[in-house]
């Protein structure tokens, strides 16, 4: 493999002693600006629909195993945050992590923080505490996702489950066997009761759509996201040197396929927005999407870097701040009165993990902001 570029400056005379870059990777990363199709009569589903379109297009063009979600009013403040997030994913046992959530940090806030934009209690206390359970909630930005988790698959080695939040009231077994499990819920690549389970490719068109490019990219993304099998304790790892194969050059057919999967009609009669990708039907689609992943047995991690990973702009007046808090409160109440209520959590969630989602909903019911 090519060596990464060095931080040390190099000087030399171009004519007498030209610099040798033969062993240095000087290639620029791929940058694609995407604009999805919107037509009257088709619900574009706002941010959730845009993110799902981006997931499909990126799967065809680059197919990276990890996806960073960053809102338009945020920017990268620490480039090393990408590596720190991927280290969690690629570590031993990291193949069960669905996302790595970074705290939200803002600039341009007055010293007294009169509108409580920093959300100190939530980001510095609550989220750190949740990291000791099944992981923090997804807050909508500053989050590094595992692509396979967004596709709605189960995590590997998920055969042992806890009784669940309602285990003391409703009869539930300690273990869920494959014969009693719902096939729609336990569908996975090799992710079932055993790591050697093969893929059920026949059901992929109904789940992901009729794009053969997209379907073929799914097992590749899953393999690339596996941890390196450099130790006997690593389960479901990939052998060293398996990712050194060069990628095919993008041609007109691949670009045309990427345009096709972002069309307004592609999601018809598929599971996009219901079981795959960002979930539709809620004002706070971010919380619902993270809850669905935890409900399948995935874990998440809260990563607080020494230097802020990302920074954004906060509301500068009371009106904008109240509208923001109102949207959050409305979404929490919607979740409480929907099928995504934590009271109906599956047995794949840890015992105390649903309490967090239930707390987020109940604290907004009597909130004076709504």
Distance separating alpha carbons of residues 128 and 122, to the nearest angstrom: 9
Q: Starting from the edge strand earliest in sequence, which strands make up the sheet with 310-313, in order?
A: 74-76, 310-313, 106-107
Cβ–Cβ under 8 Å, residues 267 and 53: no
HSE toward the beta carbon, residue 287, CA cutoff 13 A: 24
Q: Which of 33, 281, 212 is nearest to 272 (CA)?
A: 281
Q: Which of 171, 192, 168, 197 is nearest to 181 (CA)?
A: 192
Within a 10 A sphere around the Cβ of 215, how many other Cβ atoms? 17
Burial class (CB in 10 A: 0-12, 13-18, 19+), 25: exposed
DSSP 8-state secondary structure symbol assigned to residue 146: E
Angle at 355 between CA 349 and CA 356, to 5 degrees: 95
- In sequence order, the β-bridge partners of residue 99 are 145, 300
Distance separating alpha carbons of residues 256 and 249, to the nearest angstrom: 14
Q: How far are the Cα atoms of 50, 75, 201, 276, 328 from residue 207, in angstroms, in the given order?
A: 18, 33, 10, 8, 30
Answer yes or no: is 46 a known binding residue: yes
- In sequence order, the β-bridge partners of residue 75 are 311
Cβ–Cβ under 8 Å, residues 177 and 22: no
Q: Which of 6, 141, 30 is nearest to 76 (CA)?
A: 141
Residue bearing tokens 């794949």: 348
Q: How far are the Cα atoms of 44, 108, 109, 269 from residue 263, in angstroms, in the given order?
A: 10, 38, 40, 14
Distance separating alpha carbons of residues 259 and 232, to the nearest angstrom: 43
Answer yes or no: is 47 a known binding residue: yes
222 token code pair: 């899953």
| Known binding-site positions | 46-47, 71
Binding residues for Mn(2+), as ranges, are 47, 71
Instruction: List residues forming the annotated binding site for UDP-alpha-D-glucose.
Output: 46
């Amino acid at each position: 493999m090519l060596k990464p570029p060095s931080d040390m400056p190099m000087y030399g005379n171009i004519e007498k002693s030209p610099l040798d870059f033969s062993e240095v990777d000087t290639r620029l990363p791929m940058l694609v600006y995407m604009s999805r199709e919107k037509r009257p009569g088709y619900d574009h589903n706002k941010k959730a629909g845009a993110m799902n379109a981006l997931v499909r297009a990126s799967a065809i063009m680059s197919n990276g195993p990890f996806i960073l979600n960053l809102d338009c009013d945020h920017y990268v403040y620490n480039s090393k945050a990408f590596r720190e997030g991927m280290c969690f994913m690629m570590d031993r046992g990291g193949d069960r992590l669905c996302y790595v959530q970074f705290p939200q940090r803002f600039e341009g806030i007055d010293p007294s923080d009169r509108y409580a934009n920093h959300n100190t209690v939530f980001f510095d206390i609550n989220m750190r505490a949740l990291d000791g359970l099944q992981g923090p909630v997804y807050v909508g930005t500053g989050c590094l996702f595992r692509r396979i988790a967004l596709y709605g698959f189960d995590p590997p080695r998920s055969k042992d489950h806890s009784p669940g939040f309602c285990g003391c009231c409703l009869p539930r077994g300690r273990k869920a066997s494959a014969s009693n499990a719902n096939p729609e819920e336990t569908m996975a690549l090799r992710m079932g009761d055993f790591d050697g389970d093969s893929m059920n490719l026949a059901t992929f068109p109904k789940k992901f759509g009729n794009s053969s490019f997209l379907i073929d990219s799914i097992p590749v993304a899953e393999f690339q996201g596996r941890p390196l099998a450099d130790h006997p304790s690593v389960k479901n790892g990939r052998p060293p040197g398996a990712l050194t194969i060069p990628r095919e050059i993008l041609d007109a057919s691949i670009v045309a396929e990427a345009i096709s999967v972002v069309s307004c009609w592609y999601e018809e009669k598929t599971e996009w927005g219901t079981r795959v990708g960002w979930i539709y039907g809620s004002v706070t689609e971010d919380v619902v999407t993270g809850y669905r992943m935890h409900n399948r047995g995935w874990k998440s991690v809260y990563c607080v870097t020494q230097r802020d990973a990302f920074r954004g702009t906060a509301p500068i007046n009371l009106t904008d701040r109240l509208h923001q808090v109102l949207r959050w409160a409305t979404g929490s109440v919607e979740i409480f009165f929907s099928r995504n209520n934590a009271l109906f959590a599956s047995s794949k969630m840890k015992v105390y993990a649903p309490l967090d989602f239930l707390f987020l909903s109940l604290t907004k019911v009597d909130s004076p902001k709504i």
